Amino acid sequence: MRRCILHTGSGDKVEPLDSIKPCHWQKIQKCSQARKRQLQFSTSKYSAVISNLPEVLTANDCFHMTCYKNFTAVTATTKKEAEKKSTTTLHLRSCSSFQKVTSNTGVLPRVCTLCGKKQRRRDGKLEDVGACETDTAEMSIKEAAVALKDDAMLAKFGNINFCTKEVKYHHSCRSAYLKSADRVRQRDRPDSSDWKKSTTVAFQNLCMYISSSVIENKTAETLSIGVFQIL
Ligand SMILES: [Zn+2]
Ligand SMILES: [Zn+2]
């Protein structure tokens, strides 16, 4: 019995059945591929039609022109959706393989340890991350983290070997990081607090000298000499 292979509704159509020409058949197959890629394909009304399409056409396989037109009307949006789906799965695939690489070898992702970015724009140029290749470079960063009291950095990288884990950073980020650590060290330098202590002591001595010698003994003294003698 001749039937419409693209029929979706339950009721029979009054319109006559058309026989399927090779060009129609080609388009039906092309469109069924496109529909299969659609996000909502499994729930679409065409999912049953497509799974019931014959492998080889027989004389009984026909279509209603309206059914054919509806079936082949794969809109631009659904094509876009199909593309989106394929890129999403591609993305997911690349993500999971990326995570696999990370967990298998323990190698860190290729981003800057210090700014968290892959590329950094500096003086109008894009700077890529570089690997940490020497122990000295590693030590300088770790020491800087200690000086800066960068707990997050120390918690994350304090116990790992930069070279084996392929820690990466922008060289400009590293020098900025080391520089700010230097500034902190400069500020907290022990001899700078010694200097503060000694000036306080000198000031106290001066006060004592003034009160005992100048005020109590009523001796005139020029300040510059007094300061000079005490210091
Ligand atoms: Zn039909
Ligand atoms: Zn950076």
Annotated domain spans of the chain: 1-76, 82-189, 195-226
Which ligand approaches the C-alpha of residue 5 most closely?
Answer: 1
Residue 160 has a pLDDT of 87
Residue 86 and residue 35 in contact, taking contact as beta carbons nearer than 8 Å: no
CA distance linking residue 202 with residue 214, whole number of Å: 16
Res 143 pLDDT > 80: yes
Residue 86 has a pLDDT of 60
62 CA from centroid of ligand 1 (Å): 8
Q: 186-224: per-residue pLDDT in tens? A: 887 766 566 666 667 777 777 776 666 666 666 665 555
Which ligand approaches the C-alpha of residue 6 most closely?
Answer: 1
Which ligand approaches the C-alpha of residue 71 most closely?
Answer: 1
96 CA from centroid of ligand 2 (Å): 25
Q: 52-95: per-residue pLDDT in tens? A: 999 999 999 999 999 999 999 986 555 566 666 565 555 554 44
pTM: predicted TM-score of the whole model, two decimal places = 0.39
Average pLDDT over residues 20-47: 90
Q: At what angle do helices 171-187 and 135-147 cross, to 10 degrees?
A: 50
13 CA from centroid of ligand 1 (Å): 7
Q: 145-191: per-residue pLDDT in tens? A: 999 999 988 988 888 888 888 899 999 999 999 999 999 998 877 66
Residue 218 has a pLDDT of 63
Task: Using only the alpha carbons of the chain, give its radius of gyration.
Answer: 40
105 CA from centroid of ligand 2 (Å): 23
Q: How far is CA 207 from CA 27, 200, 228, in A?
A: 103, 11, 14
164 CA from centroid of ligand 1 (Å): 65
Which ligand approaches the C-alpha of residue 119 most closely?
Answer: 2
Residue 191 has a pLDDT of 63
Only one residue has tokens 């003086």, namely: 123
173 CA from centroid of ligand 2 (Å): 5
Average pLDDT over residues 2-6: 92
pLDDT bucket at 231, cuts 50 / 70 / 90: very low
Nearest to 133 by CA among 103, 102, 174: 174
Which ligand approaches the C-alpha of residue 115 most closely?
Answer: 2
Which ligand approaches the C-alpha of residue 10 most closely?
Answer: 1
Which ligand approaches the C-alpha of residue 14 most closely?
Answer: 1
Residue 104 has a pLDDT of 45
Residue 48 and residue 6 in contact, taking contact as beta carbons nearer than 8 Å: no
115 CA from centroid of ligand 2 (Å): 4
pLDDT bucket at 97, cuts 50 / 70 / 90: very low
| Span of 31-35, 99-103, 177-181, 184-188 with lowest mean pLDDT | 99-103
pLDDT bucket at 96, cuts 50 / 70 / 90: very low
| Span of 15-19, 120-124, 144-148, 192-196 with lowest mean pLDDT | 192-196
